[in-house]
Amino acid sequence: MVVEFHKKSVPQDGMGRLHGGIGSALADTNCLAVRVTRWRLWLARVSSPFALAAALLASSSHVVAQDTAKGAVDSAEELVFALEAPAAAEAEPLAADVGVDAKAARLGLPRMAPVIAAMGEPEPDPVWLRNVLVDGFFDESDLSNPVNVVAAPGKVGRWTVDVGNVALHVNDFKVPYDRGNAVDLNGNRSGSLFQAIETVPGFRYHVRFLMSGNWSTFPSKARTLAVYFGSEKKLFTVKRPSRWSKSNMRWEEHELVFTAVRPLTGIRFASETAGIPDGPVVANVRVLKEALAPGPLESINVPLPENLADFIKDKEKAIALGKSLFWDMQAGSDGRTACASCHYNAGADIRTKNQLHPGAPGSTFGHQSAASLKLGVAAVQSFKGANQELKPSDFPFHRFKDPTRPGSSSSDGDSKNPVISDSMQVFGSQGVVTEAFVSIVIGNPIDKCKHVADLVFNIQGSNARQVTGRNAPSTINAVFHDRLFWDGRANRYFNGVNPFGELDKDARVYQLAESGHLQKVKISLDNAALASQAVGPALSAVEMSADGRDFRELGRKLMSLQPLGLQKVHDDDSVLGIYCDSDGRGLDASYAQLIRDAFHRQWWGGKQITEGGYTHMEANFSLFWGLAIMMYESTLVSDQTPFDAYAKGDKSALSEGAKKGFRIFMNEGKCITCHHGPEFAGATVSMIRGQLSDNGGIHYMPMARGLAFYDEGFYNIGVRPTT
């Protein structure tokens, strides 16, 4: 059913005010600064009695700034404000948003169907709008002539001509920002375009489109368009505006708001102008689904393996073991590099010295091209980043002449916006110097290693610490992710040995059988990407280890050392304070004891010596390392922030500036398209296969330039130039 209708004229420059929501063809980064400037002009001109109305306009999708002139407005100085109550379809009562509200109630989230607030009442919650229409820009057809008449039952891209005929105009009618094409719904007689879309009953959908007319013939006759959404119909009539031409279409933006009643809904644009060859013209069609704004993080369950109790007998002891391993710098081959070295500040790496990687083309995050090898050699030869202190002026590494629209063309910088510099470098995280592992030294945190000359990370012939090709992501809220590492290679299934989960068919750990013998077994723990991630850096020859070390050697070394023996432990530490040694340095429990306290005996209690002469506990050290660090990191959850309080109903928890930023985040900025849910992320368990999941991790979805397969949380990772 139709519950609202709004109309907005689009100025010649295509800079008309957007009616909230993401997905609009006009929500382009080019015009964001212009819109902000215009808002300031508008707000400066309204007197005190209208200031509150202006604020309401900025926050409610039920109130629109509307032009008073019939034609388009050429200057912000000509704009005035008008408040409009939403108009319902005749004789149709408003339906409750049962789908949205039921889901919100189930998740403990705020009501998302916004209510028109009276003056002085709190503003409604922001609404996130997501485009669900395919080929709304009419650019997926193979037709390439300037004018292409298509008769029923023909196809125009993803649309079906079901009545009469229509004309697809390719680069013939000027559309804002040259995004897509336009369709004249009278080819040589009136016609109709149709497409069926998946909808969720009870949810509201915003249909937005641009409308004009083709007055190449019969210029005095008005053009009338009918828009159908399901069984609902709305008519629009437009007269020829002054100065109309194909290059100056004088577009009007229209919006309808419907509540879906079926899982499949048809949308149809039909001409009501009969008997002439040129009719109403539509472009930039979007169908935007209202979705839940991010709720408080506590509404999302912390995902942990269901079979965790098969391995861990005491979660609190496992957390203590994990925190000790995570922060212990004795774990590094150099005796001074820990997981925390790259994750010590809010779980992330804020160091600015010796953080550059040459970003060699062909490598991950480097340029991908046939010339990668040649460019890679040049990148390494010209690299002078070892031990360099980064400055703000060093950014961006990939610099366009106009930084407000990077990558704005199909090529990587065209003549209108060329790339003026590209260092090809990456801001990574420093690790260890290049060395080859020889052996551990019992009781010594420093491994015995062999010097290997590093041709990239060196200063006057002396090796410097290497830098990773990616900056370390935060450990805060990492537990909510379905996969980890920037490329997702840390599998959701932990195999007890390495990051690759079930992809490694040979991964085995040792289990103590009832007979007292050790047997190799295959294990799999779902929702354990943190464990899969944890076992990667510890053996990385760039991040923490000399090249060639394995977990059995690491376990043997650490079990010969006092946990955190080189570091002070505060006696008020919420996890390790009870283990604090009397002299304030290290813990008063051994790693072997912590493992025995945390894990079931079947994973460490065997008396048999394994191949290579390792004990059962040493042989399974990767299992303990991964699961214990996972347990510790699962406690690093930021669910008591001001935003969480705001999402739970405390509107005073955020400043006015923060509220404005949140509205921009959800609408004009389109940030929430990728950073959604209470976790503000895409590659999460809840979004991909959990309580907020829609269609799983892979979507075939409309993008700015047509359809694309979208890998939730990983789209374009590793193929864009770094900034």
Task: Break the chain into its structural domains and give their ranges.
Answer: 128-291, 308-367+379-407+424-635, 642-711
207 forms beta bridges with: 256, 287
Q: What angle do CA 22, 287, 213 make, to 5 degrees?
A: 105
Please give the average pLDDT of every successive group of 10 residues along the chain, which has 723 residues: 52 33 33 40 38 35 31 30 28 31 38 32 61 90 95 95 96 90 96 93 92 96 94 94 95 93 94 95 94 88 96 98 98 98 94 87 51 66 84 87 67 67 85 97 98 91 92 95 91 97 97 95 98 98 97 98 97 95 94 98 95 95 99 97 94 94 86 86 85 61 61 64 56
Residues found in the chain: 723
CATH topology of domain 128-291: Jelly Rolls (2.60.120)
CA 202 to chain centre: 26
Q: Is 419 exposed, middle or buried (0-12, 13-18, 19+ CB in 10 A)?
A: middle
Residue 2: closest CA among 230, 194, 159? 230
**Cα–Cα dist 592/271, whole Å:** 78
**Cα–Cα dist 352/342, whole Å:** 12
**Cα–Cα dist 367/322, whole Å:** 37
CB atoms within 10 A of CB 652: 9
User: From its phi and psi, is residue 178 left (phi > 0), alpha (psi between -120 and 50) or beta?
Assistant: left
CATH topology of domain 308-367+379-407+424-635: Cytochrome Bc1 Complex; Chain D, domain 2 (1.10.760)
CA 523 to chain centre: 31
**Cα–Cα dist 143/166, whole Å:** 13
- Residue 652, amino acid: S
CB atoms within 10 A of CB 94: 13
User: Residue 615 has what DSSP assignment?
Assistant: -
Q: What pLDDT score was predicted for residue 87?
A: 31
Q: What pLDDT score was predicted for residue 672?
A: 84
**Cα–Cα dist 594/600, whole Å:** 12
- Burial code (b: 16+ CB inside 10 Å, e: under 16) for 562-598 equals bbbeebebeeeeebbeebbbeeeebbebebbbbbbeb
Assess contact for 194 and 159: CB atoms under 8 A.
Answer: yes
- Residue 307, amino acid: N
Assess contact for 433 and 455: CB atoms under 8 A.
Answer: no
Phi first, then psi: give them for residue 281, nearest 5 degrees.
-120, 135
pTM: 0.71
- Burial code (b: 16+ CB inside 10 Å, e: under 16) for 685-695 equals bbbbbbebeee
- Residue 399, amino acid: R
